Amino acid sequence: MTKEELIAKMANSAGITKVAATVALEAFTGAVTTSLKKGKRVTLVNFGTFTISKRKARMGRNPRTGEALKIPAARIPKFSAGKELKAAVK
């Protein structure tokens, strides 16, 4: 599903305009992003949890040249599906 399809589905389900659904979706994604930047987790009961995971620095290889290179440490977002979401897609 694309972002546009999601916005159309939200607008239909909630009985609102696509503009209002777009604003709501942007507000949601903005709030999740802001919380994750601060290192906080976002939990939507029965849907899932957004968290930040820390990846250690490590050595890697350039596949073309075979040259070793250092991959820096990074913080990456993760999503864990909740119980009801897992059950719904079985």
pTM: 0.79
- Asked if residue 32 lies in contact with residue 50, where contact means CB atoms within 8 angstroms, the answer is yes
Q: For residue 39, give the DSSP letter.
A: T
Instruction: Tell me the pLDDT of the chain (90 aa) as tens digits.
Output: 999 999 999 999 999 999 999 999 999 999 999 999 999 999 999 999 999 999 999 999 999 999 999 999 999 999 999 999 999 998
Q: What angle do CA 72, 77, 81 make, to 5 degrees?
A: 145
